[in-house]
Structure 1
Amino acid sequence: MTAIAYSQGEKPLHEYLRQHARNQPDKCAYNWYGRELSYRELDDLSDRFAAKLAALGVKKGDRVVLFLSNCPQYVIAHFGIQKLGAAVSPCSPLFKQHELEYQVSDLGAEVIVAADTLYPVIEQVRAKTRLRHIFLTSYSDLLPEQPAIEVPAEVRVPRQPVPGTMDLLGTLADVKEAPPSPQLDMDDVVLLTYTSGTTGMPKGAMLTYRNALFKTLCAASAGAVGNDTVTLAIAPLYHIAGMLMGINCTIYSGASAVLLHRFDPLAVLQAIDRYRVSHWYSIAPMNVAVMQVPEARRYSLTSLKINPCTSFGITLTEPLANQWRDFAGGCQTFEAAYGLSETHTCDTGTPRDAVRWGTQGRLMPGVECRIVDKDSGAVLPPGEMGEITLRSPGNFKGYWNKPEATAATLRDGWVYTGDMGKLDEDGYLTFSGRFKEMIKVSGYSVFPEEVETILVKHPAVRQAAVIGVPDATKGEVIKAFVVLKPDAGEVRAEDIIGWSREQMAAYKVPKMVVFRGELPATGAGKVLRRLLREE
């Protein structure tokens, strides 16, 4: 394979951060509602966090959980962990007790970095896991006194001290030691992002320094992210795509990122106008919402040049792209990419001068794709529909402690995605659906077994089965089929839904519940979701 021309050579992304801290120390790396964090500060604070973790006994190969939404502290922790050769494992801040307990226990993690507002969830699982060290931070900790753009109410809440935990930024201020310098290899696992994969409960996809560097080059090249770029980072940093665009591309290129806690259409307009944002990775409903802001024309979007966009809920069509171009003063938008956690995403990218609507773009340089027959495994010719399989330096090393699941997905260096698609003669990929039973709710991956495992914890539920049903807004929503215990008494669908809201992330909560006397099953007792879908 031809050597890949990385801008600073093949080394971990945190070493790119160190180099930028030397070459452009005062340049803004992250702008948090008007508070600028320079490359020097980011490198220093992540060094301090690495030193603090080392003092607690964290070493290469250990797992550290991040449980917070977008904020500068997320980036500080991310790189501090990876500087030690330890592995970052993001948890959705939407997680409730059972979800957090499952991931923390599966990892055997002893350290967690979390938002102080999420501590009640940690408290519920602390005694049931190996957690020993808890760092808390407030989203308000780094806010400027006079924020320059609209700030969500939850970001303004002052920090609440919690006995028995450590204040992240306060602790870092007291660190005097230099971080250790462990021997690192590009194939070391430094990211464990949980995904449902092709079967079963969520699994930790083991990703390496090399995986991250390669896919960062792909994404930066596809999006034309360079040293002069000002990006708008809104996508969740705990999600593989948000991490790639909001953290990795910024640091690789030495760019500046305007970081928002979450999407707010008015804040988007204000940020682009005030900070002359040139690049924004969005999802299609965001663009629509921004265009619907009253008096949106008051804001200048002429600095915005490139807008890779993902179709979730709303499909990015050529007419919608043209509408956005006219609204934003010439900004080009196009379907961003196809990818998955197991490949560190961005296996394709749309050439800006050769957009092909209805596809997910063209294979990135260095990425191989074969479309194979699901039954025979035979490689199919261009234009024929089959299972998408991928091979590249971005492919994961397997699932954490799941050798059988790894063997099913990773075969001879190829990731078998479980997705249907076709590849044309020019290398453009069209994604057409999922062979696997994963459900996509507003872009979030939900595996039926995960929701079912929680539903059967309800005191009245004996058995549950979950499927996805089409939804015009969210793509799919959850439909649950429930068998009640004989002594359950009167239970309504609303009771199950309300209980679920307290037990699982909002996107996993069933939108509808159907009660059954029994569920269709095989002779061995395996529920046949296929029959439920056919109904």
Structure 2
Amino acid sequence: MRSLRDCFVDSMARHGDRKAITFLRGGNAESEISYRELDLDSNRMANTCLGLGVAKGDRVILFFPKSMIFVAAHLALQKIGAVAVPLNPGFKPSEMEYFIEDAKAQLVLSGSEHQAMIKEIDPSLSNLVIDTQESYQNLDFFRSASEDLPPVEIGPDDPGIIIYTSGTTGKPKGAVLTQKNLVHDAKNVIKIWEITESDVLCHALPLFHVHRLCFPLHTSL
């Protein structure tokens, strides 16, 4: 497999209508989605991002709480060769100003609670605002977009994610993880943890952290 996109396309072809994710909120199952549904939704989300000017290699900040739309957006960016930059939704305006400038982001996907912050930091920056408190099935801002994606070549050395360090000795630095890094990480975890297709992984940690994003999420998809 050359990329995360290739891995997911293979999973979708093999599992199709099988449940991919159950999202819990408040201890209850709020949303369930199959591999096929996630494939189509991430295609729609990818076309939504393309319509906002995102192209291969562009950095897109994911700045909202853990949610189903976070997963769909992350997968969408991988499908078009854009670079996901997941950030802690608890960051303060001064911190976000640094990350936006350093990442040279083309687009910020944020929760509605951060709309004013992003606008104040950079009024010219494209910001797609998402109500993450709304249930996933009721989010309709991207569902009218096409399910068909234009072809894009994504190689193993292309960047997939930028994860910022904690910055304990200075300003946080963006660490670039290539598609090769992400695929190998997932395969190694599957091997070491002895994960099988019949296993169900419980993901209880934030998605902006590299371990939580690359291991439980990528391995399950």
Structure 2 portions without partners, runs of 5+:
none
* Residue in 2 that maps onto 1:81: 77
Higher helix share: 2
* Residue in 1 that maps onto 2:180: 210
Question: How far apart, CA to CA, are the structure 2 residues paired with 1:43 and 1:180?
Answer: 14
Q: Does 1:14 align with 2:5?
A: yes
Deviation of 1:229 after TM superposition, in Å, equals: 0.7
RMSD after superposition: 1.9
Which deviations, in whole Å up to 9, do the C-alpha atoms of 1:381-403 show, x marking residues without a partner?
A: xxxxxxxxxxxxxxxxxxxxxxx
SS at match of 1:114: strand
What is the one-letter code of the residue matched to 2:6?
A: E
Cα pair distance change 1:77/1:90, threshold 3 Å: same
* Residue in 2 that maps onto 1:135: 129
Alignment counterpart, residue 108 of structure 2, candidates 108, 112, 116: 112
The answer (yes or no) to whether the contact 1:65–1:88 under 8 Å persists in 2 is yes
Question: How far apart, CA to CA, are the structure 2 residues paired with 1:197 and 1:180?
Answer: 38
Question: How far apart, CA to CA, are the structure 2 residues paired with 1:14 and 1:88?
Answer: 13
Question: How far apart, CA to CA, are the structure 1 residues paired with 2:79 and 2:188?
Answer: 23
Count residues in correspondence: 216
Cα pair distance change 1:186/1:229, threshold 3 Å: same
Q: Does 1:46 align with 2:37?
A: no
Structure 1 portions without partners, runs of 5+:
1-9, 144-158, 160-168, 252-535
* Residue in 1 that maps onto 2:151: 181
Alignment counterpart, residue 195 of structure 2, candidates 225, 234, 237: 225
Alignment counterpart, residue 57 of structure 1, candidates 38, 46, 53: 53
Alignment counterpart, residue 71 of structure 1, candidates 48, 67, 70: 67
Alignment counterpart, residue 213 of structure 2, candidates 219, 243, 261: 243
What is the one-letter code of the residue matched to 1:19?
A: D
Question: How far apart, CA to CA, are the structure 2 residues paired with 1:137 and 1:246?
Answer: 25
Q: Which has the higher contact order (CA 8 A, sep 6+)?
A: 2
Deviation of 1:68 after TM superposition, in Å, equals: 1.3
Where do 1:296-307 residues align within 5 Å?
none
Deviation of 1:140 after TM superposition, in Å, equals: 2.8
Question: How far apart, CA to CA, are the structure 2 residues paired with 1:198 and 1:102?
Answer: 15
Cα pair distance change 1:83/1:114, threshold 3 Å: same
Question: How far apart, CA to CA, are the structure 1 residues paired with 2:116 and 2:18?
Answer: 37
Deviation of 1:70 after TM superposition, in Å, equals: 1.2
The answer (yes or no) to whether the contact 1:14–1:83 under 8 Å persists in 2 is yes
* Residue in 1 that maps onto 2:140: 170
Moved over 6 A (4+): none
Which deviations, in whole Å up to 9, do the C-alpha atoms of 1:116-149 show, x marking residues without a partner?
A: 233233233233xx51232313233227xxxxxx
SS at match of 1:61: coil
SS at match of 1:45: helix
* Residue in 2 that maps onto 1:315: none
Identity of matched residues, %: 30
What is the one-letter code of the residue matched to 1:204?
A: G
Structure 1 length normalisation: TM-score? 0.39
Question: How far apart, CA to CA, are the structure 2 residues paired with 1:102 and 1:83?
Answer: 27
The answer (yes or no) to whether the contact 1:32–1:142 under 8 Å persists in 2 is no
SS at match of 1:134: strand
Deviation of 1:198 after TM superposition, in Å, equals: 7.7
Which deviations, in whole Å up to 9, do the C-alpha atoms of 1:301-347 show, x marking residues without a partner?
A: xxxxxxxxxxxxxxxxxxxxxxxxxxxxxxxxxxxxxxxxxxxxxxx
